[in-house]
Amino acid sequence: MNRTLSFSILTALIVFLIGPFLIIVAASLSAGDTLAFPPQGLSLRWIVKVFTVESFRDSFIMSMILAVGGTFVALLLGVPAAYALSRYKLPFGEAVSTVVTLPIIVPGIIVGLALLRYLVVPFSFSIGVALFLAHTALVLPYTVRVVSSSFNNLRSDMEEAAVLLGATRLGAFFMVVLPNIRAGILAAFILGFVTSFNQVPVSLFLSGPGVRTLPIDMLSYMETTYDPSVAALSALLALMSIGIVFLAERFLGFSRYV
Amino acid sequence: MFQNRAEALALALPAAVFATVIFLVPVVIVLAEGFRSPAGWTFSAYTNFFSEPLNRLVLVRTFKLGIAVTVVSAIIGYAAAFAIVNLSASGKGRMIGLISLPLMISPVARTYAWIVILGRTGIVNQALQAVGLSDEPIRLLFTETAVFIGLLQLFLPLMILSLISALENMPKDAILAARVLGANWFQVFWKVILPLTREGLVVGGTLVFTGSLTAYITPAILGGSKVLMLETLLFQRVTVANDFVSASVIAFILIAMCFAANLLLKRLATARNKR
């Protein structure tokens, strides 16, 4: 392929993929009252406003709790399961791996609806708890997948050697295996965090008074208001994601795991 | 490989039970609801659903948009992936970084940008009026085109990344050999590149297709109630009409389509490995 052609293809591609994001950043710096590009004057008022909107603050905290807590629980469930799948002759191994990775294939909106109708309503579960469980189930496949590949890349004679040298099985796991897959677990955590934090369909039906994730809050805000605050919030969230990915790439070569 | 079965089960069971109780069982009950009536098992929910013209329209539209986004992203994807694998190592790394970046950004934020671009006073309308192509703003938002553009931007990176890894695994001399033997570029693509990168195309295609079928945010923001897709229709049926039976039918259609796409993926991937 000749150089000019390849250069123009890639330029057009980057404009299409990244351009809209830059426009959002520009629009969020506007001094005007409505969403517009080019921005009407420059100011930080909308960026500042984002931090003063109470519902954004509450839903941000909610999303953080779901993303951090849900991913943590998913790791507690997923790491042992991944270990069993890669190191043991597990009875019904195929079925186990299918059921834990299924939530990736089934659309989230259906999971949300199912939990609302058959967990929240009949057992008077709180919506917040159901939302937490739904986010955990959603993240579980990612943790199992990423951590499994770490286990598979780690030679199993290491823990066998540790056991032969007198360590207990549990001791061998915590002192030999875990330190070696630390990067994989961190990668799974970041992937799970981002997936949960950006997730919308699962949370659609699992919203109630005081229980609302940030993306859902943004969707309902933009339905009623046409000011640049959602743009400002979008820009801030994007910067947060970029920061996380940048740090992850810097410190563990994140892209190897995803 | 350890042999202790009890230990293995104790490790794997919590995750399996969790996924079964929190996810599998409720979803299966939702799906079963579409086949139940006071009189017993029935398909009446399905015949009712398909007799409604709006529902048929939404189903066809969802399928059509899914195919269109997949095909267009494959075409752009090949051109882009081909240009990228021919870059220097550092250039390639930078491009892959730039292409993966949007994947980490909230889809709400990414989709919201198109409102600024395609809206009544958006950039496209400003440009059209400035050049004199149009006297008044054209409605671009809440059209199928807007949803198509939004979906394409959302999922294109997945296709490009799959195709990059497929092209990298392809023997470098294959193209040169075909060229030396007199094939034109069209033949090179059709007879050499396509068969050798089929697996990457199938992986990317499945991700893009199922992603588009099950998209909620893009049709909700850029399509509104004018351009409903299956997920936005499902949401509307439940919130506006409390119609859980139609919701179950839509859920079944969505799951069936996703499973079919994933099965196809597995089939094509293993067919390749056997040879």
**Whole-model pTM above 0.95?**
no
A178 and B86 in contact (C-beta within 8 Å)? no
CATH number of the structural domain spanning residue A245: 1.10.3720.10
- Taking the C-alpha atoms of residue A238 and residue B112, their distance in angstroms, rounded to an integer, is 12
Whether residue A216 lies inside any domain: the answer is yes
The answer to whether residue A106 neighbours chain B at the CB level (below 8 Å) is: yes
Shared-domain flag, residues A13 and A119: no
Among A30-34, A145-149, B84-88, B197-201, the minimum mean pLDDT is found in: A30-34
Same domain, A151 and A227: yes
Q: Which residues of B touch A89 (CB under 8 A)?
A: 1-3, 5, 8
> Which of A98, A49, A77 has its CA nearest to residue A188?
A77
The model's confidence at residue A255, banded by pLDDT at 50, 70 and 90, is low
Give the one of A10, A90, A194 whose C-beta lies nearest to B104's C-beta: A194
Alpha helices in B86-224 (DSSP H): 89-104, 107-118, 123-131, 144-169, 173-180, 185-187, 194-196, 198-213, 217-218
Residues of the domain holding A232: 54-256
| Res B234 pLDDT > 50 | yes
Statement to judge: residues A30 and A93 lie in one domain? no
Minimal Cβ distance to A81: which of B11, B101, B221: B11
What is the rounded distance in angstroms from the CA atom of residue B45 to the CA atom of residue B58? 17
Residues of A in contact with B240 (CB under 8 A): none
- Examine residue A149 and state whether it is found in any structural domain, yes or no: yes
Per mean pLDDT, which range of A89-98, B41-50, B242-251 is the poorest? A89-98
Residue A245 lies in a domain: yes
Q: Which residue has the higher pLDDT, B25 or B267?
A: B25
Same domain, A11 and A71: no
CB spacing of A117 vs B98 below 8 angstroms: no
**Does the pLDDT at position A144 exceed 70?**
yes
pLDDT at position B27 over 80: yes
Q: Between A220 and A91, whose confidence is greater? A: A220
One domain, residues A2 and A87: no
pLDDT at B84 over 60: yes
Strand partners for A208: A211
What residue type is assigned to position A67 of the chain? A
**pLDDT tens readout for residues B97-119:** 889 888 888 899 889 889 888 98
A112 and A190 in a single domain? The answer is: yes
Inspect the interface and report whether the beta carbons of A102 and B112 lie closer than 8 Å: no
Distances (CA, A) of B245 to A79, A156, A226, B43: 38, 50, 35, 11
- Shared domain check, A230 and A186: yes
What is the complex's ipTM, to 2 decimals?
Answer: 0.88
Residue A48 lies in a domain: no
Q: Do B153 and A17 touch (CB under 8 A)?
A: yes
Buried b / exposed e along B162-181 (16+ C-beta atoms within 10 A): bbbbbbeebeeeebeebeee
Same domain, A30 and A104: no
Residues 74-133 of B with CB under 8 A from A: 76, 79-80, 82-84, 86, 95-102, 104-110, 112-117, 119, 121-123
Whose CA is closest to B30, among B261, B248, B193, B269? Answer: B248
Q: What is the mean pLDDT of chain B?
A: 89
The predicted pLDDT at position A107 comes to 92
- In this structure, the answer to whether residues A74 and A35 fall within a common structural domain is no
What is the average pLDDT across B236-248?
Answer: 93
> Does residue B240 belong to the interface with chain A, where contact is any CB pair within 8 Å?
no
In a domain, A156, yes or no: yes
pLDDT band of residue A208 (cuts 50, 70, 90) is confident
Element of type H or E holding A217: helix A214-224
A38 and A111 in a single domain? The answer is no
Instruction: Report whether pLDDT(A258) > 70.
Output: no
Residue A63 shares a structural domain with residue A127: yes
Q: Do residues A24 and A143 share a domain?
A: no
Measured between CA atoms, how close is B136 to chain A, in angstroms? 17
Q: Which residues of B touch A205 (CB under 8 A)?
A: 238
Q: Is B264 on the interface with A (CB under 8 A)?
A: no
Kindly state whether A64 is in contact with chain B, defined as any CB-CB distance less than 8 angstroms: no
* Lowest-confidence region among A11-20, A55-64, A235-244, B219-228: A235-244
pLDDT band at B36 (very low <50, low <70, confident <90, very high): confident
Residue A196 has pLDDT above 50, yes or no: yes
Question: Within a domain: residue A49?
Answer: no
pLDDT-derived band at A256 (thresholds 50, 70, 90) equals: low
What pLDDT, on the 0 to 100 scale, is given for residue A228? Answer: 86
- Cα–Cα distance for residue pair B106/A235, rounded to 1 Å: 10
Q: Does A250 touch chain B (CB under 8 A)?
A: no
How close does chain A come to B244, measured CA to CA in Å? 9
Domain count, chain A: 2
Query: How do residues A106-134 score in pLDDT, each as one tens digit?
Result: 999 999 999 999 988 888 889 999 999 99
CB atoms within 10 A of CB A24: 28
Most distant CA pair in chain B: distance in Å?
77
Inter-chain CB proximity A81 and B102 less than 8 Å: no
**Tens digits of residue pLDDT in A91-108:** 788 888 889 988 888 999
Look at residues B98, B108, B150 and name the one whose alpha carbon lies nearest to residue A198: B108
- Mean pLDDT is lowest, of A36-40, A156-160, B135-139, B206-210, for A36-40
Residue in the structure block whose two tokens are 């517009």: A36
Domains and their CATH numbers in chain B: 55-243 (1.10.3720.10)
Q: How many Å apart are CA A96 and CA A78, to the nearest integer?
A: 11
Residues of A within 8 A of B16 (CB-CB) are 81, 95-96, 99-100
Structure confidence at residue B1 (pLDDT): 56
Say which of B7, B26, B121 has its CB closest to residue A36. B121
Total CB pairs under 8 A between chain A and B? 245
Does residue B59 surpass a pLDDT of 90?
yes
A105 touches chain B (CB under 8 A): yes
- Report if residue A79 sits inside a domain: yes
More confident residue, A252 or A177: A177
Distance from CA of B269 to the nearest CA of A (A): 17
Which residue, among A115, A109, A188, A118, has the nearest Cα to A146 in the 3D structure? A188
**pLDDT the model gives residue A104:** 87
Question: Is the CB of B251 less than 8 angstroms away from the CB of A6?
Answer: no
* Confidence class for position A30, pLDDT limits 50, 70, 90: confident
Q: Decide if pLDDT at B275 tops 80.
A: no
Per the prediction, chain A carries an average pLDDT of 88
Residues A154 and A180: beta-carbon distance below 8 Å: yes
Residues with Cβ within 8 Å of B265's Cβ and at least 6 positions away in sequence, in order, are B202, B203, B206
